[in-house]
């Protein structure tokens, strides 16, 4: 099963993708992770990525599609597209690639959130510097012993752009560029939505229901 997780910054896409990887053996295709991995790989595509990033240029859709093509060729137990597509043009390119590779897109799960609640949640967010486990001052505080419950790490960090003004700008970009994908996939009969502001286990169960239903 191949799926897309859609939702604004901080909706919990990364957290839910990790759960799907752990529990279902799926492969998470995060654009940022793929670019970093490619840059250090030494492959032909990796050299192109390294050159573009060294110049400070934006990585083109063609390059990202090329990286996804390589990942699809490796096979696996289904893919989770996280952070791609972001635009209608990218959605069309992904559909064409999946068709060429004999693959299908089975579900597009939108994590629906309330903007004000999302801002409150994100400005309270921190992550483990070692494994990336996400904590929240309100809903999931860092353990009292100061150690990550996932890996035991003791370094925690907040993203510099996890502040109200920055987040509102990121939300605006999301609504301008990415929210049209909701209608796009709805028209294709692939879109479904869950409440992204529930507890992590509640959201996990809601996603599982949509995938298995």
DSSP string for residues in 63-100: HHHHHHHHHHHT--S-EEEES---SHHHHHHHHHHHHH
Q: Cα–Cα distance between 113 and 116 in angstroms, integer?
A: 9
Model pLDDT, residue 4: 96
Model pLDDT, residue 85: 93
Model pLDDT, residue 67: 87
Catalytic residue among 69, 107, 112, 125: 125
Give 130-178 pLDDT, tens digit per residue: 998 888 887 889 999 999 999 999 999 987 777 788 888 888 888 888 8
Catalytic residue among 13, 18, 39, 204: 13
18 annotated active-site: no
112 annotated active-site: no
Catalytic residue among 69, 71, 86, 107: 86
Q: Cα–Cα distance between 131 and 11 in angstroms, integer?
A: 19
69 annotated active-site: no
Catalytic residue among 71, 140, 158, 170: 170
Q: What is the DSSP letter of 213?
A: -
Catalytic residue among 71, 159, 193, 210: 159
36 annotated active-site: no
| Residue 7 region by backbone torsions, left for phi larger than 0, else alpha for psi between -120 and 50, else beta | left
Closest CA to 193 of 183, 92, 123, 201: 183
Q: Cα–Cα distance between 154 and 184 in angstroms, integer?
A: 43
User: What is the residue whose two structure tokens read 């699809």?
Assistant: 72
With a cut of 70, which residues of the chain have pLDDT below it? none
Whether the predicted model's global pTM rises above the 0.85 cut: no
37-44 own/partner pairs: CB under 8 Å, 24+ apart: 38/67
Model pLDDT, residue 101: 92
24 annotated active-site: no
Number of H helices, E strands in the chain: 9, 8
Model pLDDT, residue 111: 93
Model pLDDT, residue 14: 85
């Amino acid at each position: 099963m191949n799926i897309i997780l859609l939702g604004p910054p901080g909706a919990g896409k990364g957290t839910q993708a990790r759960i799907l990887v752990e529990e279902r053996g799926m492969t998470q295709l995060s654009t940022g992770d793929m670019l970093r991995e490619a840059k250090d790989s030494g492959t032909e595509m990796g050299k192109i990525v390294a050159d573009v990033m060294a110049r400070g240029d934006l990585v083109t859709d063609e390059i990202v599609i090329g990286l996804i093509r390589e990942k699809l060729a490796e096979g696996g137990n289904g893919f989770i597209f996280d952070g791609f597509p972001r635009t209608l043009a990218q959605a069309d390119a992904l559909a064409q690639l999946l068709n060429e590779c004999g693959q299908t897109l089975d579900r597009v799960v939108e994590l629906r959130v309330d903007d004000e609640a999302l801002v409150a949640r994100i400005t309270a967010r921190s992550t483990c510097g070692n494994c990336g486990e996400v904590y929240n001052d309100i809903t999931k505080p860092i353990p009292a012993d100061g150690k990550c419950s996932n890996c035991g790490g003791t370094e925690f960090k907040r993203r510099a752009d996890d502040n109200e003004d920055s987040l509102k700008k990121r939300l605006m970009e999301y609504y301008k560029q990415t929210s049209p994908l909701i209608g796009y996939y709805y028209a294709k009969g692939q879109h479904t939505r869950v409440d992204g502001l529930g507890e992590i286990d509640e959201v996990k169960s809601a996603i599982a229901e949509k995938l298995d239903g």
